[in-house]
C-alpha cells in the first residue's frame, strides 16, 4: 500500500471531541502496569505465609545474625513454597471474572472467591507437605495459622488492587477508541469498552466499508475505510479495535493494520477473529477478556520505572535549580516587557495537545511576526530555523545557546505531558506541514526535554535526519538508551554545539 501524500494540514488542527475528558493530558499505560504488578503481587501470599512462619520463632527468640545463619531456609522450604505457589497460581488462573454485577464489584467478588478457594487448597497442600516432607522447623505451624496468614495477605493484595484500579479509573483520562466494523463483534467491543473496570473508555465512532448498518449503531458512524487515516491523524485515538470478519474482509483488515502501524496507533482484535464451527472452543480467561493487542512501542514494567525516575529527577532538579531559575526570571522581567514564561501548544503522545512551558527568549509577539519571516527560513522542510532571528532578545540569545530556556519543561515532566528523554515536542505549525503521514508515528511515545536530536548535532540536522532519529529512538528504546542520552546531553549543552 502506498503511503498517503495528502497534506496533513487538511487533517491536523481539529481537536478531539470534548467528550473525551481532559484535553491536553496524555493518557499513559500506568493502569496496565498496575494490573501487571497486581498479578505479580497476588502470587506472593503462600510465600509470605511460609516465610512468616519460619521467621516467627526466630523473631521471638533473638535478633542475632548468627541465629539466622545457623537456621537456614532449607531446600524443603523452597520445595514446599514452589508447590504452594503452583497451586495458588492455578486457582487464580481458572477464576474468570464473570457475572452481571458492576465491573469493580465483579472484580472484587471473583477475586475474593479465588482467595477463599486458593487458601483452602494451599492449606490442604501445606498440611500434606508437612506430613510428606517431615518437620520443617515450624514449631507452631498449624494449618490454621498458615490459612490465616495466607488468606490475610491475599485479601490485602486484592484490596490494594481495587484501590489502585479505582484511582486509575478516576485520575487517568479516558482512552479514546475507534471501532472498525459494525456487526456483532463491533457491538460486543463497544459494550466491553463502555464497562471496563480499570480504564475508562470512550468510543469516538465506527468505521465500516458497509454503511448499511450505520442506523443500528449505538455511536457515530464516521464513514468508510478510506477515512481511517484522516481520522487517526485528526483525533488522538489510543486504540483501534478491528471487528471485521476476517474471511470476507481480509484485504480491509490488512489495509487498516497498515494505516495503524504507519501512523503509530495501537490496534486490537478479538480472539474469535477466526471463525470456527467447533461447539467446544476453549480459551484462557486472559484471552477471553483482553483479546490480542499490538502497540507501536513495547511497554512493560520499564515504563513505570521510567515514569518514577522522571518524577524523582524532575523534582530534584527543580529544587536544585530554583535559585538559577529565579535569576533567569528576574533577568527576563528586567530587560523586556511581557511574561517570564512562553507557553505554546505542542503535540504530545498520541497526537494530544498540551501546553509546553519555556523561559521566554523572544519578543512578546514572536508568533505573530513569524509569518513575515517565513521567506528567510534556513531549514529545509516544514521546520523554521534562523541563526540570526531578529525576534530573539539579548537575554534570550544566551538562554537559547545554553539551553537554559528549556528548564521550565521540568514542570511538564511532573504533569506527565513530557519525559526527560524522548522525541522533541513539535509545534502545531510544523506538524501541519508534514507531507508524510508515517511521520506521525513519532507521537506514539511521550515527548522529551532531550533526545537523540540534542546529542546528535541538535538543530543542525535536516528534517529527514531528525525524523529518522526519532523513529530510531522509538524502535530501540530502553532504560539504558535513556541513560546514555542523558549523559551525552551534559557535554552537548555545555559546548552549545548545534544550539538554535
| pLDDT tens series, the chain, 500 aa | 334 444 444 444 334 343 343 343 444 444 455 566 666 677 778 877 777 776 665 555 555 555 544 455 567 767 777 888 788 877 766 554 443 344 556 667 777 777 888 888 888 888 887 777 665 555 555 777 778 888 888 888 777 777 776 676 666 677 889 999 888 888 888 888 876 545 667 888 999 888 887 778 888 888 888 899 889 988 888 889 998 888 788 888 899 999 998 888 888 887 666 655 554 444 433 334 456 777 777 777 788 889 889 999 999 999 999 999 999 999 999 988 889 999 989 988 888 889 999 999 888 877 766 666 666 665 655 666 667 777 888 888 888 888 899 999 999 999 889 999 999 888 887 787 777 777 888 888 899 999 888 787 655 566 777 888 888 888 888 889 999 999 988 887 777 665 55
Q: What is the DSSP string of 438-456?
A: GGGGGGGS--EEE-HHHHT
pTM attached to this predicted model: 0.66
State the Cα–Cα distance between residues 67 and 36, nearest whole angstrom: 37
Chain-centre distance of CA 300, in angstroms? 9
Half-sphere exposure of 144 (CA within 13 A, CB side): 1
Contact call for residues 199 and 46 (beta carbons, < 8 A):
no
Query: What's the DSSP call for residue 218?
Result: S
Name every residue whose Cβ is closer than 8 Å to that of residue 498 and which is 6 or more positions away in sequence: 454, 457, 458, 459, 460, 461, 492
Closest CA to 138 of 47, 51, 70, 43: 51
State the Cα–Cα distance between residues 212 and 495, nearest whole angstrom: 63
Set of cell numbers at residue 284:
484462557
Set of cell numbers at residue 378:
534556513
- Tell the residue number behind the cell numbers 459494550, with chain if given: 191
37 φ/ψ angles, rounded to the nearest 5 degrees? -65, -35
Closest CA to 382 of 446, 464, 441, 452: 464
Q: How many helices (H) and strands (E) are present in the chain, helices listed first?
A: 18, 11
Q: What is the DSSP string of 410-423?
A: HHHHHHTS-EEESS
Per-residue burial over 269-282, b = 16 or more CB atoms within 10 Å of its CB, e = otherwise: bbeebeeeeeeeee
Q: What is the DSSP string of 117-132?
A: HHHHHHHHHHHHHHHH
Per-residue burial over 174-205, b = 16 or more CB atoms within 10 Å of its CB, e = otherwise: bbbbbbbbbeebbbebbebbeebbbbbbbbbb
What's the fold here for domain 8-16+174-272+281-294?
Rossmann fold (3.40.50)
Set of cell numbers at residue 390:
531578529
451 φ/ψ angles, rounded to the nearest 5 degrees? -170, -165
All structural domains of the chain with their residue ranges: 8-16+174-272+281-294, 30-170, 301-495
Contact call for residues 297 and 445 (beta carbons, < 8 A):
yes
Q: Let me know how long the chain is.
A: 500
State the Cα–Cα distance between residues 459 and 485, nearest whole angstrom: 16
Q: In this predicted structure, what is the pLDDT of residue 2?
A: 39
383-386: Cβ within 8 A, 24+ apart: 383/430, 383/463, 383/466, 384/429, 384/430, 385/459, 385/500
Name every residue whose Cβ is closer than 8 Å to that of residue 86 and which is 6 or more positions away in sequence: none
307 φ/ψ angles, rounded to the nearest 5 degrees? -65, -40
Set of cell numbers at residue 208:
465500516
Half-sphere exposure of 289 (CA within 13 A, CB side): 15
Contact call for residues 8 and 432 (beta carbons, < 8 A):
yes
State the Cα–Cα distance between residues 81 and 96, nearest whole angstrom: 24
Amino acid at each position: 500500500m502506498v503511503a498517503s501524500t495528502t497534506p496533513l494540514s487538511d487533517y491536523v488542527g481539529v481537536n478531539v471531541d470534548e467528550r473525551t475528558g481532559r484535553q491536553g493530558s496524555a493518557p499513559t499505560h500506568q493502569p496496565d502496569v498496575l494490573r501487571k504488578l497486581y498479578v505479580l503481587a497476588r502470587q506472593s501470599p503462600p510465600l509470605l505465609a511460609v516465610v512468616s512462619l519460619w521467621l516467627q520463632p526466630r523473631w521471638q527468640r533473638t535478633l542475632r545474625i548468627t541465629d539466622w545463619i545457623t537456621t537456614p531456609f532449607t531446600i524443603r522450604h523452597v520445595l514446599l513454597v514452589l508447590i504452594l505457589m503452583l497451586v495458588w497460581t492455578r486457582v487464580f488462573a481458572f477464576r474468570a471474572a464473570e457475572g452481571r454485577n458492576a465491573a469493580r464489584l465483579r472484580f472484587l467478588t471473583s477475586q475474593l472467591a479465588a482467595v477463599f478457594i486458593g487458601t483452602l487448597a494451599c492449606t490442604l497442600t501445606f498440611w500434606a507437605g508437612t506430613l510428606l516432607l517431615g518437620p520443617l522447623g515450624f514449631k507452631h505451624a498449624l494449618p490454621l495459622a498458615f490459612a490465616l496468614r495466607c488468606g490475610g495477605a491475599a485479601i490485602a493484595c486484592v484490596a490494594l488492587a481495587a484501590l489502585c484500579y479505582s484511582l486509575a479509573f478516576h485520575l487517568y483520562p479516558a482512552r479514546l477508541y475507534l471501532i472498525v466494523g459494525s456487526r456483532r463483534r463491533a457491538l460486543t467491543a463497544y459494550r466491553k469498552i463502555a464497562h471496563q473496570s480499570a480504564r475508562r473508555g470512550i468510543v469516538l465512532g465506527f468505521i465500516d466499508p458497509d454503511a448499511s448498518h450505520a442506523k443500528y449503531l449505538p455511536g457515530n458512524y464516521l464513514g468508510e475505510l478510506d477515512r481511517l487515516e484522516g481520522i487517526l491523524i485528526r483525533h488522538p485515538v489510543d486504540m483501534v479495535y478491528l471487528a471485521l470478519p476476517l474471511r470476507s474482509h481480509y484485504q480491509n483488515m490488512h489495509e487498516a493494520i497498515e494505516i495503524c502501524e504507519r501512523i503509530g496507533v495501537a490496534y486490537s482484535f478479538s480472539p474469535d477473529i477466526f471463525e470456527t464451527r467447533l461447539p467446544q472452543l476453549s480459551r484462557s480467561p486472559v484471552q477471553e477478556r483482553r483479546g490480542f493487542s499490538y502497540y507501536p512501542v513495547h511497554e512493560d514494567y520499564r515504563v513505570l520505572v521510567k515514569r518514577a525516575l522522571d518524577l524523582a529527577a524532575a523534582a530534584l532538579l527543580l529544587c536544585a535549580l530554583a535559585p538559577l531559575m529565579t535569576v533567569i526570571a528576574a533577568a527576563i522581567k528586567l530587560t523586556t516587557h511581557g511574561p517570564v514564561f512562553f507557553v505554546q501548544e505542542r503535540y504530545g503522545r498520541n497526537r494530544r495537545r498540551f501546553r509546553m512551558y519555556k523561559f521566554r527568549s523572544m519578543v512578546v509577539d514572536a508568533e505573530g511576526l513569524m509569518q513575515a519571516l517565513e521567506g528567510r527560513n534556513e531549514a529545509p522542510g516544514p521546520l523554521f530555523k534562523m541563526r540570526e532571528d531578529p525576534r530573539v532578545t539579548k537575554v534570550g540569545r544566551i538562554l537559547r545557546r545554553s539551553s537554559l530556556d528549556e528548564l521550565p519543561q521540568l514542570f511538564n515532566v511532573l504533569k506527565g505531558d513530557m519525559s526527560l528523554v524522548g522525541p522533541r515536542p513539535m509545534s502545531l505549525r510544523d506538524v501541519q506541514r508534514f507531507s508524510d503521514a508515517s511521520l506521525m508515528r513519532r507521537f506514539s511515545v511521550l515527548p522529551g526535554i532531550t533526545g537523540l536530536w540534542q546529542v546528535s548535532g541538535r538543530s543542525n540536522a535536516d528534517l529527514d535526519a531528525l525524523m529518522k532519529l526519532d523513529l530510531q529512538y522509538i524502535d530501540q528504546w530502553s532504560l539504558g538508551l535513556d541513560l546514555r542520552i542523558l549523559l551525552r546531553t551534559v557535554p552537548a549543552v555545555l559546548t552549545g554545539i548545534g544550539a538554535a
